[in-house]
Amino acid sequence: MKTPEKALAAVYPGSFDPATNGHLDVIERAATTFDRLVVAVGRNSTKTPLFTPDERVEILRACCTPWPNVSVTTFDGMLVNFARERGARVLIKGLRAVSDFEYEFQMALANRHLAPDIETLFLMAGAEHLYLSSSIVKEIARLGGDIAALVPPPVEARLKEKFARPAANPLPAGDEPLKT
Ligand code: PNS
C-alpha cells in the first residue's frame, strides 16, 4: 500500500460537452494506471457549450461510479496550477487521430514551459472509439439519430432531454408536425 505522498495522481482535463465512450475509455485506462485520477471540466473554454460545467460534472460523476479512485470537478484558469493544487504531476490527454496531434502537441509544450515538473501523457482510446467526438455525438443527437452505442447511458438520457422536441429543438417555421 502506497503512502499518500507516494500515491500517483493524474488530472484528465477537457470540455466533456458531453463525455463520449472515447472519454470513458481514457478514464478507465487512466484510473487503472494511476492511484488517483481527477477528471477536470474546464470552465473557461472558448467554445459555446451545450451543457453547463456543473451539468457536465454531474453527468461525468454518474458515469464514473465504477472507479472509486476517480473524482470529477470543474477548474478555472491555468491547468498546471490546478494540477499542482490537486497534488498531481501528470496530465492525461486522449489522442484519437493525427488531426488531434498538432493542437495537443502545442498545449503539452506550453504546459511544459509553464510547469516543467508536470508531465503530459497521451493515452489512446480503443480503436472502436477513434472517430468519436462530442461534436459528432451532439450532431447525431440533434438530428434524432441513435447514440446508444456512442455514449454512456447518463449522457444518452441527458442528450435526449436536451433535444426533446418541441422546446429545445423546434421544427423550423412552416414545417409543422403531421397531424394524425
Ligand atoms: O476537450 P478540450 O476542449 O480539448 O479541453 C480543453 C482544455 C479544458 C483541456 C483546455 O482548454 C485547457 O487546458 N484549459 C486550461 C487553460 C490553460 O491552462 N492554458 C494554458 C496552456 S495551453
Q: Does the pLDDT at position 1 exceed 90?
A: no
Q: Does the pLDDT at position 45 exceed 90?
A: no
- Domains in the chain, ordered, with CATH? 9-131 (3.40.50.620)
Say which amino acid occupies 76. Answer: D
The DSSP secondary-structure symbol of 61 reads H
**Residue 131 bridge partners (DSSP):** none
| Protein residues with CB under 6 Å of any ligand 1 atom | 13-15, 42, 45, 78-79, 107, 110-111
CA–CA dist 53, 74 (Å, integer): 7
User: Which position has the higher pLDDT, 147 or 46?
Assistant: 147
- Give the pLDDT score at 180: 41
Q: How far is the CA of 171 from the centre of ligand 1 (A)?
A: 35
Q: How far is the CA of 144 from the centre of ligand 1 (A)?
A: 30
- Pick the residue whose CA is nearest to atom 17 on ligand 1: 78
Give the residue-averaged pLDDT of 38-46.
89
Q: How far is the CA of 173 from the centre of ligand 1 (A)?
A: 38
- Give the pLDDT score at 55: 97
For residue 88, what is its C-alpha cell?
498531481
- Give the pLDDT score at 99: 77
